[in-house]
């Protein structure tokens, strides 16, 4: 009983502070869609315009409330310090093979994104192939999926910005490390379909993988 009383006393200031938070007002519009005679209200449709001034200002106001609250937590620094200690160790993925080449992911410990490494063969020294930590200064662009062709000549990879569901796909020549001249944007990809394309040799690999996506090439 004493243990639970201590917990309640400890958490009480936190819970009571929630009631004092004043959240920014979120406007509601008169957006109504008519689906075959059924009217559906969608008052927050305006928030789907991610780059609009209104959405940006709303996000900034929400973030201010959040971080103002978090900054007042007295033990936040200790939690961050302990989690940093726990997470700070090298992490490796299982390797995968394409032709005679091998790939694997490695994170030194506290990197925002794991780095894709490349070996020409099992006796070769590993080389950095793609480092998503260099894709942006904020470290918010992730390397999502990689799909090497079966003969190890090409590798398609997708990236995601700020955790978005929308992807961009690029194809790179593995030997020269040069990107091909085309790429795909605004894709919600299907990994299973892309993975089936990687089983083909390089001549059919690119056209098949892109055709399976059923989107325009820019």
Each residue's pLDDT tens digit, 159-183: 988 888 888 889 999 999 998 886 7
Q: 103-127 burial, b for 16+ CB within 10 Å, e for fewer?
A: bbbebeeeeebbbbbbbbeeeeeee
Q: Report residue 51 as tokens.
A: 């780059």
DSSP class of residue 124?
S
Q: What percent of the chain lies above the pLDDT cut of 70?
A: 77
Task: Determine phi and psi for 162, rounding to 5 degrees.
Answer: 55, 35
Task: Determine the pLDDT at residue 214.
Answer: 40
Average pLDDT over residues 94-121: 94
User: Which pTM value belongs to this model?
Assistant: 0.66
Euclidean distance between CA atoms 182 and 184, whole angstroms: 7
SS3 label, residue 105: strand
Euclidean distance between CA atoms 155 and 97, whole angstroms: 12
Are 147 and 96 a contacting pair, CB within 8 Å? no
Confidence of residue 19 (pLDDT cuts 50, 70, 90): low
217 pLDDT above the threshold of 50: no
CA 64 to chain CA centroid, nearest Å: 23
CATH fold for the domain made of 91-213:
Methylamine Dehydrogenase; Chain H (2.130.10)
Average pLDDT over residues 203-208: 48
Q: Domain limits of the chain?
A: 23-72, 91-213
Euclidean distance between CA atoms 107 and 95, whole angstroms: 14
How far is residue 68 from each of residues 18, 26, 56, 168, measured CA to CA in Å?
Answer: 12, 19, 18, 34
CA-based Rg of the chain, rounded to a whole angstrom?
A: 24
* Mean pLDDT estimate for the chain: 82
Task: Determine the pLDDT at residue 189.
Answer: 54
């Amino acid at each position: 009983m004493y243990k639970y009383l201590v917990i309640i006393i400890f958490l009480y200031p936190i819970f009571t502070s929630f009631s004092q938070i004043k959240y920014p007002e979120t406007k509601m519009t008169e957006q109504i869609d008519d689906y075959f005679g059924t009217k559906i209200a969608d008052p927050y449709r305006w928030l789907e315009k991610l780059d609009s001034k209104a959405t940006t200002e709303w996000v900034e106001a929400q973030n201010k409330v959040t971080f103002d609250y978090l900054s007042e937590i007295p033990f936040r620094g200790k939690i961050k310090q302990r989690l940093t200690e726990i997470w700070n160790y090298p992490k490796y993925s299982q390797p995968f093979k394409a032709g005679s080449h091998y790939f694997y992911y490695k994170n030194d410990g506290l990197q925002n994104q794991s780095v894709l490494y490349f070996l020409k063969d099992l006796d070769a020294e590993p080389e950095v192939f793609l480092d998503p930590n260099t894709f942006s200064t904020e470290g918010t662009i992730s390397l999502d999926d990689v799909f090497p062709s079966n003969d190890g000549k090409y590798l398609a990879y997708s990236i995601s910005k700020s955790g978005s569901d929308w992807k961009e796909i690029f194809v790179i020549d593995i030997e020269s490390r040069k990107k091909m001249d085309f790429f795909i944007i605004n894709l919600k990809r299907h990994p299973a379909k892309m993975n089936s394309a990687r089983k083909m040799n390089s001549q059919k690999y690119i056209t098949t993988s892109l055709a399976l996506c059923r989107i325009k090439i820019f």
